[in-house]
Every structure is written in structure tokens, then in C-alpha cells.
Amino acid sequence: MQDIMQFAGNHTILSLAWVVLLVLVIVTTVKGMFSKVKTISRGEATRLINKEEAVVVDVRGRDDFRKGHISNAINVLAADIKKGSFSELEKYKAQPVIVVCANGVSAAEPAAQLTAAGFEQVFILKDGVSGWSGENLPLVRGK
């Protein structure tokens, strides 16, 4: 314990950075546990798509969407969701909705906005399309 205190005294900035990172990890973990939007694996996404007719909403740009997307995905830009212009999704409010982005990070905000708009079951695909293609799961090109 004395060694830790001595280290903290000698390396104040490094110690403060460690404490800040620890607090951020704890806050992020707790926030994720109580969030209505859940991050799901590719296996769970496949199950939702096949068994519960989940709708995949791809929030990437049009060019990225054309280069490869999950089959039957609907391309709605994150900016459009932020503006509230996602009328083509209204009929899917009662179905599971899986929000997909390039790497699983930028899907959180559009997913939260869909939840706030009344969508009952909103999920984020872990690692996004890059994780999906990384496991050699099928992508559709064009459209």
C-alpha cells in the first residue's frame, strides 16, 4: 500500500489519468446495464432476424451501404434519424430493430433516438458491419 501511495505522489498526472479512466469504465458499464438499447452479438442478431423478423437499419452512408450490407437492411442515415425523418421505419415499431453502423460505435445515438421515438425493441450490432464481414457472414452488394 505504501508503494502505491509513493507512486501516486511521484506520478500525480499518471495517477489522476488512471483514476479518470477507471471512473469512465465504471460509468460506461453501469450506463450500458440500465440502457434500453442493448448491444447484441452476431449470433443473437442472426437469431432475431430469422426467428423474430427483426429489421436491420444500416445508418452508414449510401456508398458504404452499396459496397456491402446485411440482407434486407434498410439504409437510413444517422443524420436523418437525428432529424426525425425516418417515416419508412414507422411500421416496424413493434418489431425488433437492429441498428448497424461500420464498427458498432456510431450506432448508439441513432438507436437511442429510435427508442425515444417509441420503438419497443432496439439493439446495436456489436462491431457493426466490419464484425459481420469479419466472420464471413453474407453481405449484399449494390442497391
Q: For residue range 1-54, what is the model confidence (pLDDT) as tens digits?
A: 788 888 888 889 998 999 999 999 999 888 777 778 889 999 999 999 999 999
C-alpha distances in angstroms, 71 versus 25, 52, 96, 113?
A: 34, 15, 16, 23
Q: Where are the domains of the chain?
A: 2-33, 35-134
Set of cell numbers at residue 88:
419508412
CATH architecture of 35-134: 3-Layer(aba) Sandwich (3.40)
Q: Where are the beta strands (DSSP E) in 11-76?
A: 38-40, 55-58, 74-75
**Helix/strand number for the chain, H first, E second:** 7, 5
Q: For residue range 57-115, what is the model confidence (pLDDT) as tens digits?
A: 999 999 999 999 999 999 999 999 999 888 899 999 999 999 999 998 899 999 999 99
For 88, which DSSP code?
G
Rounded CA Rg of the chain = 19
User: Residue 112's closest CA among 101, 122, 98?
Assistant: 122
